[in-house]
């Protein structure tokens, strides 16, 4: 990825940040549908994107997207039942997917009801290849991958120092949260970096140091997000951008 394909945009507060993310989402959805007939997006869990999902589920934003042409995947998932409050799928359904006119078959949750996380990862990868109609030597190319970032610099469920970060062959793998027995299923960097656009959505002073390190190229999973032939957009609020030394664009809205 060339330097001119990375854009760091700083917004003054959460409302502006979420509004900017919604506009990015809508514009990319409309462009994808116009160009390719569908919009493929991988959503993330956590508290930061929830206000974005709630905004997209309401007018006027909801009415700007042709939801019947949207395929939704999940960049990572906790290995819990789909109706668990800890499930990313459950959260996204609650605040977005249940409120927009999508085809149920175009929502692609990770199968967490039975089996093991490793088996669920393999099934999810098979499903990705089927929906994108690509062979074993090809990598599906999402129109948009939405990511958050933890205070330790992790993305999806790719945690610093874990084997999942260095996976070079698989598209979806099992991951364990360091220091716990919590098991997850996650996209790998190989799949994330094939996207047409990866968009970070980050807020809060607690993440400022990790943001600075990632943008400086330190050895964090977030720093390894470098789309091969796509765009990389960092959307930050002022508090999370406090230590950033790279050039940024400051806006009131987007």
Q: Tell me: the pLDDT tens digits for 136-147? A: 999 999 999 999
Q: What pLDDT does residue 253 have? A: 64
For residue 5, name the pLDDT band (cuts at 50, 70, 90). Answer: confident
- Is the Cβ–Cβ distance between 91 and 50 less than 8 Å? yes
Instruction: Provide mean pLDDT across the span 99-113.
Output: 97
% of the chain at pLDDT higher than 90: 92
pLDDT confidence tier of residue 251, bands split at 50, 70 and 90:
confident
Residue 181 has pLDDT above 90, yes or no: no
22-34: pLDDT as tens digits:
999 999 999 999 9
Question: CATH for 3-250?
Answer: 3.40.50.1360
**Digit-coded pLDDT (tens) for 153-164:** 999 999 999 999
The pLDDT of residue 119 is: 98
The residues spanned by each domain of the chain are 3-250
Query: Is the pLDDT confidence value at 9 over 90?
Result: yes
Provide mean pLDDT across the span 235-252: 87
pLDDT mean over 164-187: 96
The residue-averaged pLDDT of 41-65 equals 97
Give residue 249's pLDDT band: very low, low, confident or very high (50, 70, 90): confident
Q: Would you say residue 134 has pLDDT above 90?
A: yes
pLDDT-derived band at 4, boundaries 50, 70, 90:
low
Q: Residue 105 pLDDT > 80, yes or no?
A: yes
Mean pLDDT of 178-192: 96
| Residue of higher predicted confidence among 5 and 11 | 11
Q: To the nearest whole number, what is the mean pLDDT of the chain? A: 95
Whether the predicted pLDDT of 130 surpasses 80: yes
Is pLDDT above 70 for 74?
yes
């Amino acid at each position: 990825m060339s330097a001119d394909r990375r854009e760091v945009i700083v917004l003054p507060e959460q409302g502006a940040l979420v509004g900017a993310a919604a506009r990015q989402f809508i514009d990319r959805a409309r462009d994808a549908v116009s160009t390719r007939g569908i919009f493929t997006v991988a959503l993330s869990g956590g508290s930061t994107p929830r206000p974005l999902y709630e905004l997209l589920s309401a007018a006027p934003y909801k009415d700007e997207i042709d939801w019947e042409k949207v395929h939704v995947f999940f960049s990572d998932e906790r290995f819990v039942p789909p109706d668990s409050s800890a499930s990313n799928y459950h959260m996204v359904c609650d605040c977005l997917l249940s409120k927009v006119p999508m085809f149920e078959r175009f929502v692609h949750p990770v199968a967490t009801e039975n089996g093991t996380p490793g088996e669920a990862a393999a099934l999810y990868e098979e499903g990705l290849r089927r929906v994108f109609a690509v062979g074993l030597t090809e990598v599906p190319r999402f129109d948009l991958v939405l990511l958050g970032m933890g205070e330790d610099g992790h993305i999806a469920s790719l945690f610093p120092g874990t084997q999942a970060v260095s996976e070079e062959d698989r598209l979806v793998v099992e991951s364990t949260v360091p220091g716990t027995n919590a098991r997850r299923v996650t996209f790998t960097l190989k799949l994330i970096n094939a996207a047409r656009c990866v968009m970070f959505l980050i807020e809060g002073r607690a993440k400022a140091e990790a943001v600075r390190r990632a943008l400086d190229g330190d050895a964090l999973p977030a720093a390894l997000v470098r789309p091969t032939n796509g765009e990389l957009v960092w959307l930050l609020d002022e508090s999370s951008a406090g230590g950033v030394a790279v050039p940024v664009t400051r806006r009131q809205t987007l």
